[in-house]
Amino acid sequence: MGEQERMRVAVYSRYLQEDQGSLVVMGDFTEVLAGKAAYDARYGIAPIAGEAMAALTRLMTGAALAAVSLAERESWGWTMTASGVSHGLFCGVEPEGMICGAVREAPSERSIVYLQRKKADGPLVESRFEPVKGEPVASVQRYFLKVEQIETRIALDGLVGVLLQSLPGGALGPCAEMTDSELVTEMRARRDAEKMKHLDDVAIFYECRCDETVIQKMIEGMPESSRAALWGEEKSLHIACPRCGREFTISCKEIAFSETSGSNVR
Query: What pLDDT does residue 176 have?
Result: 87
CA distance 237 to 243: 18
CA distance 266 to 262: 13
- Beta bridge pairs of residue 101: 91
CA distance 93 to 204: 9
- The neighbour count for residue 148, using CB atoms within 10 Å, is 12
Query: What pLDDT does residue 254 have?
Result: 58
Query: What pLDDT does residue 43 have?
Result: 94
CATH superfamily for domain 9-206: Hsp33 domain (3.55.30.10)
pLDDT tens for the 266 residues of the chain, in order: 444 456 799 999 999 999 899 999 999 999 999 999 999 999 999 999 899 999 999 999 999 999 999 999 999 999 999 887 778 999 999 999 999 999 988 776 778 999 999 998 889 999 999 999 879 999 999 999 999 999 999 999 999 999 999 999 888 989 889 999 999 999 999 999 999 999 999 999 999 998 888 777 777 777 877 766 766 667 777 788 989 999 988 776 656 554 333 333 22
Q: Where are the domains of the chain?
A: 9-206, 212-254
pLDDT digits (tens, 9 = 90+) for 79-98: 999 887 778 999 999 999 99
Evaluated on CA atoms 151, 156, 157, 163, the torsion sign reads: positive
42-79 per-residue burial string, b: 16 or more CB within 10 A, e: under 16: eeebeebeeebeebbbbbbbbbbbbbbbbeebbbbbbb
- H/E stretch holding 99: strand 98-105
pLDDT digits (tens, 9 = 90+) for 96-124: 999 999 998 877 677 899 999 999 888 99
Which amino acid, one-letter code, is at 90? Answer: F
Query: What pLDDT does residue 108 have?
Result: 67
SS (H, E, C) 118-129: ECCCCCEEEEEE
Contacts with 3 (C-beta within 8 Å, 6 or more apart), sequence order: 38
